[in-house]
Amino acid sequence: MHIFVALAGLVLLFVVLWDAFETVILPRRVMRAYRLARLFFRSTWLLWRAIARKIRSKKVQQSFLSYYGPLSLLLLFGMWAAALILAFGMLQWAAGPSAGGPGAAATFRSDVYLSGSTFFTLGMGDVTPSTTLARVVAVFEAGTGFGVLAIVISYLPTMFGAFSQREVNISLLDARAGSPPTAGELLRRHGRQRIEDGLGIYLRDWETWSAQLMESHLTYPFLCFFRSQHDNQSWVAAFTAILDVCALLIAYGDGEVKWQAQLTFAIARHAVADLSQVLRLQPRESAPNRLAHDDLPKVRELLIECGVPGCTDAGDAKLKELRSMYEPYLDVLSKLLLMPLPSWGAGVAANRDTTVWGRVTSSMPGGGSSAPADTKHF
């Protein structure tokens, strides 16, 4: 009996330590289906999302969803600690009965208590190992507990640093593409004078952002559940707006800005595809049509208005092809994470009277204007 309990304890110990290593330390994605961390996030997120869907107020719902990311991370650490304590308790029981106070009976419960006090290095001394093997297990557990807690604490700044780095560009996107961000608004705010130089440079920044997000979120997939500060912003919406702009410039544009759009599109599409795979999501071919065929003339009109060279209806087929490469992935990510996809924004521009952008680009007292000529349509 003792040998089977010892084997079960060793297996549990290995599984937990390996799962913690893959989740926190290993700098690459793990695609194996059966993992403690993946099963934990899957089960807890489905329950959390089901509760959130019953909340009618959108503001309260988004606030409730925002707690899941940090809270689930703490609960994951707690689950690892509890499993390790149980595993070492099984090893202590198999190694020999623990020695308690006078008249105290040696039980499995006392062995688990000994394991817990040893794991957190409390050193209570009221229950002690009574055999040489049990003492060896206790020493190994004390080192393991100290090491696990130290690694987890030391890696927390790295995880939250990756989250903060992700949010910087999302916050900056508000002034350039509105909230929620749309491709149409991003094109309007750059205008005719900034399409070639300003927008190309901006897309280069998003090429870097996409690569950084892909690397950090593939290493720490639970960061996908961390939500932005504002309810109408998200990393999924940001990807959508940038990919939409790139798809428009590739399908209808020409010149240097098209070249940069191709580079940004490639890495951004790579990121959303890989993130969908690491979250075990299968893209659906019947994704909702975010851009109706009747709206294509509005898109071309907007591109011509913003000075995109070579814009004709010959790019409609190319745009459809490009959309099929990334919209199915964004759709499944949106549904899983409850992060709505923005529209294309090709029809109506943002209301300049109710947004910060509208106020800073509106006419100044005395007849002056802070907005350049190409932003007069806001």
Backbone angles phi, psi at 131, to 5 degrees: -120, 165
| pLDDT for res 378 | 32
Residues in the chain: 378
> Which residue from 177, 170, 167 is spatially nearest to 357, judged by alpha carbons?
177
Backbone angles phi, psi at 106, to 5 degrees: -80, 120
> Which residue from 14, 6, 21, 1 is spatially nearest to 136, judged by alpha carbons?
6
| DSSP letter assigned to residue 22 | I
H/E segment holding residue 84: helix 68-95
Longest CA–CA separation in the chain, Å? 93
Arithmetic mean of pLDDT, 307-324? 82
Question: How far is residue 342's CA from residue 183's CA, in Å, rounded to a whole number?
Answer: 9
Residues forming CATH 1.10.287.70 domain(s) in the chain: 2-154
Question: Has residue 136 got a pLDDT over 60?
Answer: yes
- Whole-number percent of the chain with pLDDT over 70: 86
The predicted-structure confidence for 207-223, as pLDDT tens digits, reads as follows 999 999 999 999 899 99
> Which residue from 193, 159, 170, 7 is spatially nearest to 72, judged by alpha carbons?
159
**Structure tokens of 71?**
């809270």
| DSSP letter assigned to residue 233 | -
Question: How far is residue 313's CA from residue 46's CA, in Å, rounded to a whole number?
Answer: 43
Arithmetic mean of pLDDT, 237-254? 92
| pLDDT for res 353 | 45
Answer whether 202's CB lies under 8 Å from 144's CB.
no
What is residue 182's three-state secondary structure?
coil
The predicted-structure confidence for 352-375, as pLDDT tens digits, reads as follows 444 565 666 654 444 444 444 444
* 2-154: CATH number: 1.10.287.70
My answer on whether omega of the bond before 180 falls inside 30° of 0, hence cis, is yes
pTM score above 0.75:
yes
| pLDDT for res 100 | 56
Question: How far is residue 301's CA from residue 68's CA, in Å, rounded to a whole number?
Answer: 42
In this prediction, residue 294 has a pLDDT band, given cuts at 50, 70 and 90, of: confident
Alpha helices in 96-197 (DSSP H): 108-119, 132-177, 183-194
The rounded mean pLDDT for the chain is 84
Answer whether 114's CB lies under 8 Å from 89's CB.
yes
Question: Has residue 240 got a pLDDT over 50?
Answer: yes
The predicted-structure confidence for 93-123, as pLDDT tens digits, reads as follows 888 766 554 455 567 888 888 888 888 877 7
The four Cα atoms 144, 146, 152, 158 give a dihedral, to 10 degrees, of -120
Question: Has residue 350 got a pLDDT over 60?
Answer: no
Arithmetic mean of pLDDT, 133-138? 87
Question: Has residue 196 got a pLDDT over 80?
Answer: no
| pLDDT for res 357 | 59
Angle at CA of residue 223, ends 231 and 49, nearest 5°? 55
